[in-house]
Structure 1
Amino acid sequence: MSTLRVATFNVENLFARYRFNDSLSPRADDGFTINDLAFTIHDEESKRITARAIRATNADVICLQEVESLPVLDRFNSYFLGGMRYAHRVVIDCFDPRQIDVAVLSRFPITALRSHRQERNRNGTSFLFSRDCLEVELNVAGKPLTLYVNHFKSMMEGREATHARRKEQAERVAAIVNTRWKRGGYKGNFVVLGDLNDYPEGATALGALLDHPGLSNVLTRLPAAEQWTHYYAGGNAYRQLDYLLLSKGLAQTNAGAPAVMRRGLPWRAERLTEERLTGVGDNDPKASDHAALYMDLTLN
């Protein structure tokens, strides 16, 4: 059987910064340069904790949100994730004004990619996916696994005000899934995952995915009090924003529950009683404002 651990994690601002104050000679640096100005990972203290969270999760494939670029991901992997064996990495630059993209770190070969970055919304007024719906196909010991990696529109301007954008994104991802998998009864090895930036309850924009006949929100297999993946200090809110939506076939084969790795959250998230990772502060530094969500899967 082909088994692996799959995870999703919003790593919160995995950026680079220019090294103006390091008195470097760019020509003598290791080649990680732009316009002869060497740069390194921004906020290294926090990103070391982010790396500790990834190590604690120990996924074979981890899909990330809020990554600036492939060179930044490569540097992060090389400097902070040594020994994790993430030999296969991908980021495709998209159109978010903050320059945040979705990414994949994998121990298994990536055999195919498909980006939806150029798709327009229904009105043709903007790009539909500012952070892409990135299709990534992996070869897991001879069996294929397709991941649909997403980071939907945030609720920064309010849940209701941003509802329509997320709803259209969710409906398009559902349509992409239908085009490929409906004819086979959604029995294939595929997962829709990422930071979908809405709650599953109430007036959610995610109905096209959460109510989809071919997808299963496996986080509901945990007790209700354990389904939160994000802590918002402004409202002292513990809610689910991150999702693993397994195909119908994978959900039937894998009856277990996922896990949430929250030890990188700041101490201000008082509901969490677990010991924090080394270096975590009351507010900062931290691994992220999100927790990593992961599950061990046996492929069909």
Structure 2
Amino acid sequence: MRLRLCTFNIENLFTRFDFSAFSDDRSARYLPPIIQFYGEFGDGDLTKFEDFKRFVQSAAISQDDDRRQHTALAFAEADADIYCLQEVDSHTALMRFMDAYVKKIGVDPYPQLVLHEGNDRRGIDVAAIARDIRPVMSRSYADVTPGWVRRTDSGKALLESYPKAAEAAKKLKGSAARIFRRDCLELEVRMGGKAVNLFNCHFKSMGGGRDASIGMRQLEAIAVREIINRRFENPENALWAVLGDLNDYRLRIAISTVPDDEGRYKETIKVLDSDEASGVDPLLDEGFGKNMLEAVAEADRWTHYYSGQRHKTQLDYIIASPELSQRVEGSPRIIRAGMPIRVPNLDVARYPRMGWDRPKASDHCPVVVEFDV
């Protein structure tokens, strides 16, 4: 039986406007660029504030409508049985997106929708949506703490193996003790009498610097690995996969700043050395899980372009158990037709009306892998 999986960070799927962004510098980064251009409401005349709010909302809705049409095209191109999605505001936001955009493309309905409220202070959650397969169980692990990890010998051993994660765990105290910055959402589906368990994650971002935040991502990865260790008597023989935006890489493609005579930029592949850490290490070390994109050539193994440092990296993963990885069908796909025109050396046909920076489908590429279970 075919099981086609997709992970996709659909980038800030909101049905609300966060006006605190006008007074909070960190939140301001997530304002639509057109709103940032118009600046702050600061003339002191509060009688005009409701008019200003309507103006801002209208501008944001107009810009978001273009983007969501492209997001829907990328969603449809993936043609997955189950999507694990990141950066979803709510059930309502996802249902409206499916009805207003995806349905109009002619995609079959996806009646199964799962979302649990997680820990992200901006309210972006992980969600899952399925077409012909009904999940028999879903569970949020948003409340997992370092103390929970330390309850078993395997959890203690993992923390000892990753000192940066152990250091991050020590800093989590009181109400902030929850490990997952968003959530780890587990789905169990049954196909042909077999159980397949999916773990949808969105790890801590690299905001503030990769080195400063890597311990937190490793701690999240350790928590996921420990969940799997406790979930299955023999994890290597079970059918499971970790999907999501894990916000770290093991390979970086650096892009030069000067084009050649044909307008292309030199790309240099840098694989992390054995002594260089990554936030995804605990899920891949010792063959615990397998990164399905390792089947793709290194030069094509990227899902995100960061213009600030001009590099392409894989931030989005489908990591399968050793058993499930043996059941892969065909080659993994990375869908890039929704990436903005500014991404260098990307020779793919874009969706209609794609912009230099926006509109775009997302700042992440959907990743699709098919299994025969």
Normalized against structure 2, the TM-score is what? 0.71
In structure 1, the residue matched to 2:13 is 14
Aligned partner of 1:115: which letter?
S
Q: Displacement, 1:296?
A: 1.0
Q: Check whether the contact 1:13–1:67 (CA below 8 A) recurs between aligned residues.
A: yes
- The answer for unaligned runs of 5 or more in structure 1 is 19-39
Matches of 2:16 and 2:349, distance apart in 1: 31
In structure 1, the residue matched to 2:299 is 225
Q: Displacement, 1:188?
A: 1.9
Q: Check whether the contact 2:292–2:369 (CA below 8 A) recurs between aligned residues.
A: no
In structure 2, the residue matched to 1:94 is 118
- The answer for unaligned runs of 5 or more in structure 2 is 18-60, 147-168, 251-271
Task: Work out the percentage of aligned pairs sharing the same amino acid.
Answer: 37
Q: Displacement, 1:141?
A: 5.1
Matches of 1:248 and 1:81, distance apart in 2: 34
Aligned partner of 2:289: which letter?
L
1:158 counterpart (195, 209, 217): 209
In structure 2, the residue matched to 1:74 is 95
Q: Check whether the contact 1:7–1:293 (CA below 8 A) recurs between aligned residues.
A: yes
Matches of 2:73 and 2:368, distance apart in 1: 15
Matches of 2:84 and 2:321, distance apart in 1: 17
Matches of 1:180 and 1:44, distance apart in 2: 41
Aligned partner of 1:93: which letter?
E
RMSD: 1.9
1:118 counterpart (143, 159, 172): 143
- Over 3 Å counting, the alpha-carbon distance change for 1:41 and 1:175 in structure 2 is farther
1:283 counterpart (340, 352, 357): 357
In structure 1, the residue matched to 2:127 is 103
Whose Rg is larger? 2
Aligned residues: 277
Greater than 4 Å deviation, 4+ residue runs: none
Higher helix proportion (structure 1 or 2):
2
* Structure 1 residues 91-130: Cα deviation after superposition (integer angstroms, max 9, x where no partner): 1111211111101111110110111111234444222112
Q: Displacement, 1:135?
A: 0.5
Matches of 2:324 and 2:143, distance apart in 1: 30
Matches within 5 A, 1:151-300: 151-181=202-232, 183-200=233-250, 201=272, 202-254=276-328, 256-299=330-373
Aligned partner of 2:246: which letter?
L
Aligned partner of 2:198: which letter?
L
Aligned partner of 1:102: which letter?
V
- Over 3 Å counting, the alpha-carbon distance change for 1:11 and 1:212 in structure 2 is farther
Q: Displacement, 1:216?
A: 0.7
* Structure 1 residues 133-164: Cα deviation after superposition (integer angstroms, max 9, x where no partner): 11011233543221000000000110011011
SS in 2 for 1:13: strand
Matches of 1:226 and 1:295, distance apart in 2: 15
Aligned partner of 1:249: which letter?
E
1:53 counterpart (65, 74, 83): 74
Matches of 2:138 and 2:300, distance apart in 1: 33
Normalized against structure 1, the TM-score is what? 0.87
SS in 2 for 1:275: coil
Q: Displacement, 1:209?
A: 0.6
SS in 1 for 2:237: coil
